[in-house]
């Protein structure tokens, strides 16, 4: 089975991304290239900051999280 990034389809620098943090018992992983993996981590940090600072409406925040859930990136 070929290892491809589930977001962009790249074959380069494939990594496993836990859909739920390991420290919270996450075992399920998806394959991401290094670039997409970093992009997702950066977006998750940005969302956290924006939520704390209330710079994103709750509705928009929910839309972002729903899109992450559709990709299986959060539970």
The arithmetic mean of pLDDT across residues 39-68, rounded, is 72
SS3 16: strand
The arithmetic mean of pLDDT across residues 48-56, rounded, is 68
Contact at 8 Å (CB) between 17 and 29? Answer: yes
pLDDT in tens, 11-42: 999 999 888 778 888 888 889 999 888 888 88
SS3 18: strand
Contact at 8 Å (CB) between 12 and 32? Answer: no
Contact at 8 Å (CB) between 6 and 30? Answer: yes
Task: Output the average pLDDT for the chain.
Answer: 79
**Whether this model's pTM surpasses 0.75:** no
- Please report the pLDDT score of residue 40 as a whole number: 84
């Amino acid at each position: 089975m070929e290892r491809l990034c589930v977001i962009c389809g790249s074959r380069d620098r494939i990594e496993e991304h836990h859909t739920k943090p390991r420290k919270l018992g996450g075992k399920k992983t998806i394959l991401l290239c290094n670039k997409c993996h970093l992009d997702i981590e950066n977006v998750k940090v940005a969302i956290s900051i924006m939520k704390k600072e209330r710079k994103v409406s709750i509705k928009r925040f929910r839309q972002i999280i729903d899109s992450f859930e559709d990709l299986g990136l959060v539970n």
